Amino acid sequence: MKPSNPSSGDTTPPIIRLESITKAFGGVRALNGISLGFPTGRTTVVLGPSGCGKSVMLKHIIGLLRPDQGEVWFQSQRVDRMREHELVDIRRRVGFLFQQGALFDSMTVGQNIAFPLREHTDISRADRHERVDHMLELVGVPGTARRMPSELSGGQRKRIALARSIVLNPEVVLYDEPTTGLDPIRSDVIAQLILRLQDTLSITSIVVTHDITTAFKIADTMVMMNEGRILLQGDPDLFRNTDDDVIRRFLDGRASPEELGELTNNFEGNDS
């Protein structure tokens, strides 16, 4: 069980803050004025329909995208104004599990996990090997260092990608859809891993997910986004008890009459 903590009154200082972020691509407004703090050492779960700006929001945190307006802060450092070489330090301290999970297919599992160590540290080859083996044990796929990613299941590949995103001992890990495509048991393994990383290494986690079961298992605090804005944020109970129609339907997996109407119209359109 997670300790019951942060309510909306949680006073844990944020390690990362977004201030009034807007971001458009051509005519498409992806973020429409997002202000959000991520409490240090806590797990924040970000929910919201496809296309509402979740991945775009995460990419601002490590400077992969820059805002049109607004500010991104990592502790007392202003991230959105940093030059590329300054961002290297932020990206060492913030691990990122990408939505596509992309491992390098031409590298072994071990080389994949060792990659950030080669890029960012000068530790010896022996130490690298030891660290890779330790990571593989931590994520529950020991002894796979010599395998190729193509020889592993989707769930195993997710865990390897997770190992790679935490190999540098980051203070924060961003997870974009860590359980998508996994069966409920494998999803639970990932959820338990996220909890363990928080417990043992005090990692701050920011988890984007459509997986409501996982969301309630791991969240200290939750955020619901819609159309580039924040609809609701607070502790999981606030979400369990909300009577906001959009959020209720999202959590329960129920389409609105309008959303179902689109489907009916399309079928009728195809008939004629």
Ligand X SMILES: Nc1ncnc2c1ncn2[C@@H]1O[C@H](COP(=O)(O)OP(=O)(O)OP(=O)(O)O)[C@@H](O)[C@H]1O
**Binding interface with ligand X (CB under 6 A):** 25, 28, 30, 48, 50-56, 99
The secondary element (H helix, E strand) that includes residue 133 is helix 125-138
Which does residue 222 touch among ligand X, Mg ion, none (CB within 5 to 8 A, set by kind)?
Answer: none
Measured from the CB atom, the residue of 54 and 131 that comes closer to ligand X is 54
The SS3 of residue 124 is coil
**Min CB(55)–ligand X separation in Å:** 3
Which does residue 28 touch among Mg ion, ligand X, none (CB within 5 to 8 A, set by kind)?
Answer: ligand X
Measured from the CB atom, the residue of 30 and 109 that comes closer to ligand X is 30
**Min CB(176)–Mg ion separation in Å:** 6
E strands, the chain, in order: 14-25, 28-39, 43-47, 69-74, 77-78, 94-97, 172-176, 204-208, 221-226, 229-234
Nearest to 235, CA basis, from 7, 46, 3: 7
Amino acid 109 reads: V
**Min CB(31)–ligand X separation in Å:** 8
Which does residue 104 touch among ligand X, Mg ion, none (CB within 5 to 8 A, set by kind)?
Answer: none
Distance CA 156, CA 193 (A): 13
Nearest to 161, CA basis, from 176, 143, 146: 176
Measured from the CB atom, the residue of 31 and 113 that comes closer to Mg ion is 31
The residues that touch Mg ion, with contacts defined as CB under 5 A, are 55, 99
Measured from the CB atom, the residue of 55 and 144 that comes closer to Mg ion is 55
- Distances in Å between the alpha carbon of 127 and those of 124, 131, 137, 147? 5, 6, 15, 20
**Min CB(27)–ligand X separation in Å:** 10
**Min CB(44)–ligand X separation in Å:** 15
Measured from the CB atom, the residue of 12 and 99 that comes closer to Mg ion is 99
The secondary element (H helix, E strand) that includes residue 151 is none
- Among all chains, which residue has been given the structure tokens 């004629």? 272
Measured from the CB atom, the residue of 73 and 98 that comes closer to ligand X is 98
Which does residue 52 touch among ligand X, Mg ion, none (CB within 5 to 8 A, set by kind)?
Answer: ligand X
**Min CB(126)–ligand X separation in Å:** 40
Amino acid 161 reads: A
Sheet holding 77-78, edge to edge: 28-39, 14-25, 69-74, 77-78
